[in-house]
Structure 1
């Protein structure tokens, strides 16, 4: 299993989901990470204010911050290699990077709706003049 770690800027709490204005991106990341964990996939998430020691002891992130500073956070590390900086991984990137099905991140596989099967997806009802 791939080892993924996400290092984030300082936030008021471990997820950043506190206060009156919740960032939708932080909500998405928390949801994805919870879904992964429910499926047995652990992604470590470190916040600069609640886990500063992780930023010191991890040589990869420590070197990165010395060179680039904290303005380039969040940083995603996969197997001790930086793979994404300045943003969080997209849902598709999570799937690709850690080799899990989309269902593991809370996405359902896309399927053709029953109504689309009856109308060939064109929206007509099968009468005259229908595609």
Structure 2
């Protein structure tokens, strides 16, 4: 499967915790994540109790065996997860991903041993696996793009008169970007390649011309034409579920009551600054 995330789980012997983590991720993530495990000082066999509790959870460690960390694999995976404090993995040159350490539960410190110890370790690792899967394969952020007509200034405050739609849109866009939205605007005057690079946008211009702009797309699909999207529409398009109320007026643009109406100083009446 193309563009899969990849994870390497590591412990000392690669017979217990790292094998359990790999088996749990294979079971819960399926083919969506490429999974590996290895040891810093591999043992001779997989731990029997580890394999047993994984079987109880629906996973499998069958056909697995301890193996040493492969440097090429270490270099290319997206995430290296070290389980426990005994193993140490140092970064190497050219690593594509990051290294993190999971300080896993150790029930033996509380006098719990045998199969019950292994079940508690499994459950602790399973919770961490679920969180990592959600992080790596969570829903993609929608890509929202707004294609504007040729503007000398896209804030709406640099001509002799305020453009209320532009002022409002600029404030909404800045706020939603701060909320994590993948939301960008492209001006035909200073970013024409953005219009030609997207076939749908280029086709739109050929049919409707610049008079049909603004044009808003979500993941490449046209959703609004001929006007700027509203705050509610932008929030929905960007899949922002919790957004604080935006201030009214033009405060997000840093304007004050003493700012000239044109927004660009005493010469604003002469035209766009």
**TM-score between the two structures when normalised by the length of structure 1:** 0.74
The Cα shift of 1:39 comes to 1.5
The aligned counterpart of 1:96 is 236
Q: Which has the larger radius of gyration?
A: 2
The aligned counterpart of 1:129 is none
The aligned counterpart of 2:198 is 58
Q: Which has the higher contact order (CA 8 A, sep 6+)?
A: 1
Residues in 2 aligned to 1:94 and 1:2: alpha-carbon distance in whole angstroms? 11
The aligned counterpart of 1:5 is 145
Give CA deviations for 1:7-48 in whole Å, capped at 9, x if unaligned: 011111243431221201100110011101212213110011
User: What is the correspondence of 1:1-131 to structure 2 with a 5 Å cutoff?
Assistant: 1-101=141-241, 103=243, 106=246
- Whether the 8 Å contact between 1:5 and 1:78 is mirrored in structure 2 is yes
The Cα shift of 1:102 comes to 5.4
Alignment gaps of 5+ in structure 1 = 108-131
Partner of 2:243, secondary structure, is helix
- Whether the 8 Å contact between 1:8 and 1:45 is mirrored in structure 2 is yes
**TM-score between the two structures when normalised by the length of structure 2:** 0.37
Partner of 1:103, secondary structure, is coil
Note the aligned Cα RMSD (angstroms): 1.7
Residues in 1 aligned to 2:225 and 2:213: alpha-carbon distance in whole angstroms? 6
Residues in 1 aligned to 2:241 and 2:155: alpha-carbon distance in whole angstroms? 24
Alignment gaps of 5+ in structure 2 = 1-140, 248-273
